[in-house]
Amino acid sequence: MPRARQIIAFGGGGFSMEAGNALLDHYVLEATGRPKPKVCFLPTASGDADHYVVRFYRAFPAARCEPSHVSLFRRDCGVAGDLRASLLDQDLIYVGGGSVVSLLGVWRAHGLDAVLREAWQAGVVLCGLSAGSLCWFAEGVSAFHGEPCRVGGLGLLPGSNAVHYGPGRRERFHAELQAGMADGHGCEDGAALHFVGTDLARVICSRPQAQAYAVRCREGMVVEEPCPAHYLGATAAPAVQAA
């Protein structure tokens, strides 16, 4: 049976931001539906920083999954054989944070933009934080290179996204919506948007007060509404209908 298309986009969180809090990382593993999923880390947005790769392997031990990574800035990229075949064979592809502009440029140069779309369509779960969240949407707001600014993404998900949502980014996101950017979501650190297909199926969070918002512009006025969120530390999250 074909697997559903799933993307889990963190506002911020996971192993690289929440030491001692593995709730989001456990959630994305469970979303694969596999007892021991194959998980590939793409640290492209950080320039394939060595320390980031080391932290990934500590957070995703071989006892829990089959971890691997792809380093596009290294001669030894971390994957033996055909890169496309390796990514399509994964259950989960986890994209790290950093510069979304650099990430997309490198992916496109290596043809990974097309491969990741193919993987998503084949039912490989895609997830990530910060740049690894913005990249899946049509547009977003990034502040990696200074002041928050509008950036384009891969467009697997329609609409827009703002990560690390708070002062500065919120105001710029509202301004871009008023300037014509598509409606979307603002996602705080510790909150994540779980899409099945292109529909938002659930908002989950690793911190009790973390929040995501549906944000839209109507007749020049921005309307921001909090999304109901399930705190992962309270009880087990009910299963997402991913058929």
Q: Which residue has the tokens 């790769």?
A: 53
Is 164 one of the catalytic residues? Answer: yes
What does 209-221 look like in DSSP terms, one character per residue?
A: T--EEEEEEETTE
Residue 130 among the catalytic residues: yes
Residue 28 has phi, psi (to 5 degrees) of: -70, -30
Residues 6+ apart with CB under 8 A from 129: 10, 11, 12, 13, 14, 16, 17, 95, 96, 97, 163
**Is 100 in contact with 108 (CB distance < 8 Å)?**
no
Phi then psi for 7, rounded to 5 degrees?
A: -135, 130
Residue owning tokens 């290294």:
74
Spell out the residues 6+ positions from residue 170 whose beta carbon is closer than 8 angstroms to its own: 162, 186
| Residue of 86, 99, 160, 164 marked catalytic | 164
Work out the number of other CB atoms within 10 angstroms of the CB of residue 87.
21
Q: CA distances (Å), 177 to each of 10, 99, 137, 185, 191, in order?
A: 21, 22, 15, 11, 21
Minimal CA–CA distance to 166: which of 10, 11, 8, 9? 11
Catalytic residue among 130, 133, 160, 206: 130
- Catalytic residues, by residue number, are 130, 164
